[in-house]
Structures are given as C-alpha cells and as structure tokens.
Amino acid sequence: MVNIESDKKLAERLKQARESMGLALENLAILTKIQKKYLTRLESGQYDKLPSGVFIVGFLKRCAKVLNLDANEIIDQYRKERGLSDQKDRQTDGFGGVKSGKILSGNKSVFVITPKIFSVFVALLVFLAIFLFFWHQMKFLIGPPKLILEDPANDFVTLNPSLTLKGLAEIGADLTVNGRRLEVSKEGKFFDYVNLSAGLNLIEIKAANKFGKSKLISRKIILQQ
C-alpha cells in the first residue's frame, strides 16, 4: 500500500497518493472510469457537488484500487469526516419488533407434499431441463464466442515495457490482439506478449466465430517512464 499518513484529510490523502504515483488526473480518470470533474471534487473535498453517498463510496473504492490504498480505511475516514453512520437500518415487523425471518412457535404451518404437487414439480423440472438445453444450443448459434481475459484482469499503471496476455477463447474462433492474429490452443487457451509504448496503451482482444458473431475485450495500460 502507498504510505500516506492517516491523519491527513481524505481529499489531501487522495491527491498525495495520486501525485506520488506520478499520475495526472486525466490518467486516473481513465483507469478508474470516473469523470475528471468528479475526481477534482474528491481531491478538493467538495462532496456536496458529487452524486449521492452510494456513488461516492463507489468512487473511493475505485480510487483506492488504482492508488494502492486501503479501501475500507478511506471509506471509514470519509464517513467520519462527513459524520455519517455505516450501520444499516433495521427492519421492523410493523409492531415495533425486529424481523427475524423465523416462524414463531405459535404460528407454525405444515406444508404437505401431495402426489399432485409432486407431479407438477417433476413436470416443471423436466420443462426447465429442456428449456436450458435448447437455450444453450441457441446461445451457441446466435451468441458471441467465448472470450475471457485472465491477465491482465484490469486496467493499471506499470513500469514494465512488456505485457503478458493470457486467457480463454472459443476453440476455432478467429482471435486477434490489436489486429494481429493469435492462435487458440486445443484446450481453448491463448498466451501472448505485447510491447508497450510510453503513456497510454489500448489493448484490444477480439474473438470472432464462423457465424459472424464477435466479442471484444479492451484494457487501458499506462507505461510510466
């Protein structure tokens, strides 16, 4: 984790963590997928000019991940600075009591499985199995090909000029990395190295099948020098 003093105001901590990594606000916006204007308001403590508290917590989690900060710690600090409570409202049963989700001993009910209910249940299971089978077949024919990028799993900042790509793709699919053809193994795996340039690098992995369907996964990687 980035060593930023915990007694600093949250806005100052976020700004110092970003600057210590040499990241401009524009690059942080790309990596967190948060608009630059919102990041500016976070770093200046203008919480009243941001969306609701739920969105602010989401923003803080994304920033913490990129800036190598403890997400729980900065969220707690945000709540303390704002005087907020993280306790969830307790649900009541309408008579002042708390809902427990349990059946009271005085209101027990007995559910009896009759032959008719059992037959209906079996029929529903058979129908569901048939539906899932045909849905799977249709998905294979009309849906995009399988494509999973395991590494890198997210956008990030690196000092390494070489990037490793690893993942899974549909066997027989036409797989490309930034337009360059890449082979898929018999097990449906692929592996590749990509050389990075200084600054922002856009990596696009695309899989296309013989039915004309395709799937695209992209990563934004920033190479610092």
pLDDT in tens, 47-76: 888 888 788 999 999 999 999 999 999 999
Domain 10-82, second-level architecture? Orthogonal Bundle (1.10)
Decide: 205 and 217 in contact? Cβ < 8 Å: yes
Query: Residue 131: CB partners within 8 Å, gap ≥ 6?
Result: none
Q: Which CATH number fits domain 147-223: 2.60.40.10, 1.10.8.420, 3.90.380.10, 3.30.2080.10?
A: 2.60.40.10
Model pTM? 0.51
Six-digit token pair at 165?
Answer: 């790509």
Six-digit token pair at 130?
Answer: 């048939």
180-217 tens-digit pLDDT:
999 999 999 999 999 999 999 999 999 998 878 899 99
Q: Regarding beta strands 156-158 and 214-223, do their DSSP bridges make them parallel or antiparallel, or are they unpaired?
A: parallel
At residue 110 the predicted structure's pLDDT band, cuts being 50, 70 and 90, is low
Phi, then psi, of 190 in degrees rounded to 5: -140, 155
Decide: 61 and 53 in contact? Cβ < 8 Å: no
Decide: 138 and 131 in contact? Cβ < 8 Å: no
pLDDT for res 94: 36
Does position 223 have pLDDT exceeding 50, yes or no?
A: yes
pLDDT for res 40: 92
| H-assigned helices in 44-114 | 53-67, 71-82
Does position 105 have pLDDT exceeding 80, yes or no?
A: no
